[in-house]
């Protein structure tokens, strides 16, 4: 593990297409697309996507470490990624995330906005298919891993869909929401399945649940003190090309992403510094940062701050700057 494989790229179109598609199932996509939806399209759509995404990803990550199915052997495949090579293969969480996000976005918007049903369905299918195929091209998953991930995600989406409105209403109105949103993910992270060796799955799961926890607390606060979701439509923008100029859309996005990335950098430095002082280890000690008592609080606090900032601080800044 960790070795660099030599390979020759014979088709640069496929190479860059699938390298880009693989990124659509990683943090760089989550940290841009999900906030963009919240800032520029529709709060209710964003909330539903985040609920589905966090549940689907937790089940997918835990399933990997319970099933313990290996990734494809190399050789014969060439692996174009090394960070996730230490993880097990079944199911493909890239396939799960792509299916969950694309189809939850499609389902959440098809009855609210006017666009051809067929176009939305094809767009969701193409998006998820590109991500699934990228996992085969990069040598990270077998066909069975990808099909299993997409099917599991589809089943979970069908099971969650009837309860969407109920879950959304409870998360926005229940006085227990902030406590529930923090305690339950933390318990799940600290009781994540143990492996015989280190795998990034626990850290990635903590990142996802932390971001969802911070965002959920933000949703609740906004509903209590800013603009109640069930009594006001003032924050529901709709598709940006219809209701806003692209200048405002891009301004909201770039201001928001700058603040979100700054929050991540500051909180990561502060939390690691505090934990390093408490547990007596250098901040750059990678092995120490992988310990349960360090990794879980470090990632959870950092990314819950990111989720909270994206849903509360950034919209306030947008309003202050006149970008609403």
Here the tokens at position 216 are 């959920």
CA atoms of 269 and 271, how far apart (whole Å): 6
Could you please report the per-residue DSSP string of 136-154?
HHTTS--HHHHHHHHHHHH
20: number of Cβ within 10 Å: 11
**DSSP state, 233?**
-
What CA–CA distance (Å, rounded) separates 320 from 315?
9
Per-residue burial over 106-115, b = 16 or more CB atoms within 10 Å of its CB, e = otherwise: bbbbeeeeee
Neighbours of 26 (CB within 10 A): 16
Tell me the C-alpha distance between 185 and 216, whole Å: 11
Coil, helix or strand for 273? helix
Q: CA 131 → CA 63, 64, 94, 118, 161, distances in Å?
A: 20, 18, 7, 20, 23
Q: What are phi and psi of 118, to 5 degrees?
A: -65, -40
Q: Is 94 a catalytic residue?
A: yes
Peptide bond into 147 cis (omega under 30): no
In whole angstroms, what is the distance from residue 51 CA to residue 215 CA? Answer: 10
User: Which residues are the active-site residues?
Assistant: 94, 141
């Amino acid at each position: 593990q960790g070795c660099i494989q030599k390979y020759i790229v014979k088709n640069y179109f496929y190479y860059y297409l699938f390298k880009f598609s693989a990124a659509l199932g990683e943090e760089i996509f989550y940290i841009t697309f999900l906030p963009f939806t919240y800032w520029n399209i529709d709060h209710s759509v964003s909330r539903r996507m985040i609920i589905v995404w966090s549940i689907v990803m937790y089940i997918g990550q835990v399933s990997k470490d319970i099933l313990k199915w290996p990734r494809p052997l190399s050789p014969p495949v060439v692996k174009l990624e090394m960070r996730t090579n230490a993880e097990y293969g079944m199911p493909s969480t890239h396939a799960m995330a792509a299916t969950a996000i694309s189809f939850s976005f499609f389902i959440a918007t098809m009855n609210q906005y006017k666009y051809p049903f067929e176009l939305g369905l094809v767009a969701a299918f193409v998006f998820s298919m590109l991500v699934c195929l990228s996992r085969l091209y990069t040598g990270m998953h077998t066909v069975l891993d990808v099909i299993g991930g997409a099917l599991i995600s589809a089943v979970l989406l069908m099971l969650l869909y009837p309860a969407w409105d109920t879950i959304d209403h409870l998360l926005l109105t229940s006085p227990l929401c902030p406590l529930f949103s923090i305690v339950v993910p933390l318990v799940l992270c600290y009781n994540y399945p143990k492996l015989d060796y280190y795998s990034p799955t626990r850290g990635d799961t903590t990142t996802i649940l932390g971001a969802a926890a911070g965002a959920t607390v933000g949703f609740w606060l906004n509903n209590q003190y800013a603009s109640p979701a069930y009594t006001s439509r003032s924050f529901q923008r709709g598709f940006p090309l219809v209701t806003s100029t692209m200048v405002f859309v891009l301004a909201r996005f770039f201001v928001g992403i700058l603040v979100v990335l700054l929050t991540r950098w500051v909180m990561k430095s502060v939390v690691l510094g505090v934990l390093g002082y408490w547990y007596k280890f250098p901040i750059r000690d990678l092995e120490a940062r992988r310990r349960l008592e360090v990794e879980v609080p470090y990632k959870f606090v950092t990314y819950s701050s990111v989720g909270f900032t994206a849903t509360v601080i950034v919209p306030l800044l947008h309003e202050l700057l006149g970008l609403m």
